Amino acid sequence: MGVVDAVSTFIVNYYPWYEVVIEKANFRIPTRQYIRLSVKISLTVFVCCLGLSSLYLLSYIPSPYAGLFSQFIIFLPLAFIAFLFSISAFMIYPIIRKISLSNRLDKNLINLVAFLYSLSASGADIDEVFNRIVESFGKEDAFPFVQYLHYRTVLGWDVSRALKRVAERCPNDDLANIFSMLSHSVIVSEDFTPVIETLYNRILEIRRLNFEKKVSSLTFLSEIFVSSMVVLPVMAITILTIISMVGSSIFGMDPALMTALIVYLLIPLAAVFIVAASVGE
């Protein structure tokens, strides 16, 4: 257990950002407990791999076990690699889960904030607003609001404390910023409508700018696609055809072979590259 605590402490002290990632991944177990459990399982994998290696050697190496130590050393890196794979999987999974939850919230972010703004403008208190949001969007797509209601009704926290905790665990940065701003605004005034309106307009402006950026990027990629898929191949094939008619070669290669490479290899690979580059946009 001492080794588990030592490795867990090392991760917590030298990688503090990892605790934030685990918090935003919204696991059902505490952050430190998840780190400790991942280290414990990974060390168990290491010991099991080492034990199985020892059994293999003891079973197949004849007496008097000549060279046992030298062969046993071979299995130490393998067991260490298994440990690294295990601990890496535990460390990568919260990052993947955080991104997945953030994308789920981002799909409905505009609708969530618009609904929040309309309900707050009607004069409803924040608990009633959050209840309506959960009823309208469902627990899966509005889980930060479910967490807030849990803190309020089950744990009995005040509004500001519940909002701060939800902001800490929210995987979407825009929505986390809204909860953080609300936690400060409810202390000053019960009317949080101006805060929601400001944040809603800010999100709309950011989305508009991102959309314009994507349109510009796609326009640039379309120009590259036309140039590389139509103009350049036609020019290259025309030049190679003329060279083949003359009977010359290029760097010792047959122009017909180069034409075939351009048509059947370079053009498809360039198309795949451009399509892959445009997927992110």
**85 has pLDDT over 70:** yes
Q: How far apart are CA 219 and CA 106, in angstroms?
A: 25
Q: Look at residues 75, 99, 123 and tell me which one is the last residue of a structural domain.
A: 99
Q: How far apart are CA 273 and CA 271, in angstroms?
A: 5
- Confirm whether 137 is domain-assigned: yes
Report pLDDT for 83. Answer: 83
The confidence band for 202, taking pLDDT boundaries of 50, 70 and 90, is confident
63 and 32 Cβ atoms separated by less than 8 Å: no
Whole-number percent of the chain with pLDDT over 70: 77
Q: How far apart are CA 75 and CA 57, in angstroms?
A: 10
Report pLDDT for 136. Answer: 83
Q: For all residues of the chain together, what is the average pLDDT? A: 77
Same domain, 63 and 92: yes
Same domain, 81 and 36: yes
Instruction: Identify the top-confidence range among 40-49, 190-199, 249-258.
Output: 40-49
Give the count of domains, the chain. 3
Report pLDDT for 37. Answer: 86
Q: How far apart are CA 61 and CA 52, in angstroms?
A: 14
Determine which of 83-92, 121-130, 269-278 has the lowest per-residue pLDDT on average: 269-278
Residue, of 265 and 1, whose pLDDT is higher? 265
**280 has pLDDT over 60:** no
- Confirm whether 208 is domain-assigned: no
Q: What is the pLDDT of residues 24-41, one digit of tens each?
A: 888 888 888 888 888 888
Q: Look at residues 70, 99, 128 and tell me which one is the last residue of a structural domain.
A: 99
- Confirm whether 155 is domain-assigned: yes
- Confirm whether 202 is domain-assigned: no
- Confirm whether 197 is domain-assigned: no
The confidence band for 247, taking pLDDT boundaries of 50, 70 and 90, is low
Strands (E), 19-137: none
Residues whose CB falls within 8 Å of the CB of residue 65, separated by 6 or more in sequence, listed in order: 58
Same domain, 17 and 85: yes
- Confirm whether 173 is domain-assigned: yes
pTM for the predicted model, two decimal places: 0.66
Residue 184: give the domain boundaries: 109-191
Report pLDDT for 124. Answer: 75
- Confirm whether 138 is domain-assigned: yes
- DSSP 8-state secondary structure symbol assigned to residue 62: P
Q: What is the pLDDT of residues 105-138, one digit of tens each?
A: 888 888 888 888 888 777 777 888 888 888 888 8
Same domain, 37 and 90: yes
**68 has pLDDT over 60:** no
Q: What is the mean pLDDT of residues 168-175?
A: 86
Report pLDDT for 67. Answer: 55
192 and 126 Cβ atoms separated by less than 8 Å: yes
- Confirm whether 249 is domain-assigned: yes
